[in-house]
Structure 1
């Protein structure tokens, strides 16, 4: 077995373990409390897990521990959100907008989805024609909706930490990809990392 195959197996087992523990716990609490937010969280994370498992094979993957650490933090931090308690309508509406934005970003990205920096086909269409990291932005919008739906200092702190982690992930991904002339041109054409500049 080659190192790449072993890494792929480890990634899948880790993802399945994270998702399984989260889904079982969140679904149990959501059924007990009737929380729509919990069901939404499970749905969003199921979609992300499915895309991860069906992603296109990468031409190169970062081996830098820092890249993997930030990717792991960005993937696992949303599991720390607490969704018990009475829900607020505004939060549910923001979650809906976040899900729509995520679906648009993921439809644009297709199989170029990944967790750690990796060289896959560069996507410049759809949501990626306006922002370099629309999936991170839509995830942050969705999780802001979770925080508005079930407000607490804990959830606000988790969201702020997640925003910082996603920013750092974007910087690290770009550092990995910038050697690709196609990506360098893309960065010149689409200047906005998290906010549109045009």
Structure 2
């Protein structure tokens, strides 16, 4: 596992916060500009896009306003996993829909459920949210009462919905790759929290990672 580095470089941290916040705001703007542009857009599709835009705005605000972390991971691999895991899956929408894609309703349900779960989770995670693994505090409210990584679970459900709309061997392969990357992010994050926050040991001893009774 990677080493732990105390967060002392304030200029570097502020730069990352600004760039991360700007990126999520740009994504929100791109989604918002497409709202209502299609005459055949269904209500479910409109709601999923609105939910996604709201989610990106919330992430932008949280990234920009979060306090400095007590510690963050050091090393290149955790950072690569964090950025690829965060941004790679949304590039699926640039591949174009395939003729074999499942009906729009099934995809939209997954996206809506995933995004609503994300919004609920972010509400409890608050300013402890980060992309690169960082130690802020042990959150134990909301969905964190039952599993340790509800945000990752919600994201995979939403991404599954996107894959269903753009179903192909390539998008399925990207989904499997993304799940593997997210597992590595979980392990990096847990290692950091375990070594930085003493209260994390008792918390993780009584919670499942993603799916209760499975993992």
TM-score by length of 2: 0.77
Q: Secondary structure at the match of 1:189?
A: coil
Superimposed CA distance per residue, residues 16-75 of structure 1 (whole angstroms, 9 cap, x where no aligned partner): 564466556656667765574666544433332222122233111222222111111112
Of 188, 196, 202, 1:172 maps to: 188
Q: Distance in 2 between matches of 1:50 and 1:151?
A: 32
Alignment correspondent of 1:117: 133
Alignment correspondent of 2:16: 11
Q: 55-64 vs 180-189, which deviates more? A: 55-64
Of 35, 53, 62, 1:51 maps to: 62
Q: 65-74 vs 18-27, which deviates more? A: 18-27
Q: Distance in 1 between matches of 2:68 and 2:150?
A: 21
Alignment correspondent of 2:110: 94
Tell me, yes or no, if structure 1 residue 67 matches structure 2 residue 72: no
Q: Distance in 2 between matches of 1:43 and 1:81?
A: 20
Q: 1:54 to 1:4 in 2, by over 3 A?
A: same
Q: Say what the alpha-carbon RMSD is for the aligned residues.
A: 2.8
Q: 46-55 vs 36-45, which deviates more? A: 36-45
- Displacement of 1:115: 1.1
Gaps of 5+ in 2: 1-6
Q: Distance in 1 between matches of 2:59 and 2:35?
A: 20
Q: Distance in 2 between matches of 1:46 and 1:172?
A: 26
- Displacement of 1:123: 0.6
Q: Which has the higher helix share?
A: 1
Tell me, yes or no, if structure 1 residue 160 matches structure 2 residue 196: no
Q: Secondary structure at the match of 2:66?
A: coil
